[in-house]
Amino acid sequence: MKTDTIVILSNRELDKMRQAGRLAAELLHHLEPMVKPGVSTLELNDEAERWTQAHKARSAPLNYKGFPKSICTSVNEVICHGIPNAKQILKEGDIINIDVTPIVDNYHGDTSKTFFVGTPSPVAKKLVEVTEECLRRGIAEVKSGARVGDIGAAIQEYAEAQGFSVVRDFVGHGVSNIFHTAPEIPHYGTRGKGKRLRPGMVFTIEPMINEGTWEVEVLKDGWTAVTRDRKLSAQFEHTLAVTEDGVEILTLP
């Protein structure tokens, strides 16, 4: 379900978002030691589902619009929405983004991180570090009265200055007791443009930064989005709340 109405969350709702966000961060932290050569992406998925159920939560991606698994595992040239698979075995030098969204008391905690599998190549290392810095720079723009375009501009300026490109086809989004809602948060844009940020707004910033072209191709499964030139892509994501005096990151452990 998606709505164009930007919802301002109450203090009670923000508390629920904090609980969901904290659990999402803890899930990523729990999965991190498994990210090594020889592990399948399905093993990561199955452990995430087991852990989520053990913590009395639900996996939002599972059966969302037909998505068949509990998390997204996006390896190397996969930008986002990679489907965990028993035949996809992590190997030395891979990078993998793991995107998790547990639902706690109907509220969604949405976060993702790109991990190194063993020792990365120099270009993979730079790409992942730049992408994480893009997220930091986007978050630094969030404050009451700022514009959505300020976030995208900060990310785009830094990524392109480092020789990388910003995916246009997928954006951050509002999130609450609905998985994807308004506002959309592009990771490119113009300062001073877009909707104005107000306290109580909650949304994700999740820049997807590519080694080569920003252009995307979606595979026949209808989900897996890859770089058109099959070069590497990385992503980091946090869920954030606009506060009276700045920003609160909801998906920290």
Q: Residue ranges per domain, the chain?
A: 11-249
What residue type is 238 in one-letter code? H
Residues of the chain with pLDDT under 70: 1-3
Angle (CA) 177 183 186, round 5°: 125
Which pLDDT value is given to residue 83? 98
Which pLDDT value is given to residue 143? 98
Beta strands in 30-140 (DSSP E): 58-59, 72-75, 78-80, 95-100, 102-104, 107-108, 111-116
- Give, for 172, the enclosing helix (H) or strand (E): strand 172-174
Which pLDDT value is given to residue 1? 44
Sheet containing 72-75: which strands, arranged edge to edge?
72-75, 95-100, 111-116
Q: For domain 11-249, give the fold.
A: Creatine Amidinohydrolase (3.90.230)
What angle in degrees, to the nearest 10, is found between the helix axes of 148-161 and 122-140? 160
- Give, for 130, the enclosing helix (H) or strand (E): helix 122-140
What residue type is 50 in one-letter code? R
Q: Over the stretch 161-216, which tens digit does the pLDDT of each residue have?
A: 999 999 999 999 999 999 999 999 999 999 999 999 999 999 999 999 999 999 99
Bridge partners (DSSP) of residue 95 are: 116
Closest CA to 21 of 98, 74, 100: 100
What residue type is 102 in one-letter code? P
Q: Is the pTM of this model over 0.85?
A: yes
Which pLDDT value is given to residue 184? 98
CA distance 228 to 237: 22
Which pLDDT value is given to residue 253? 87
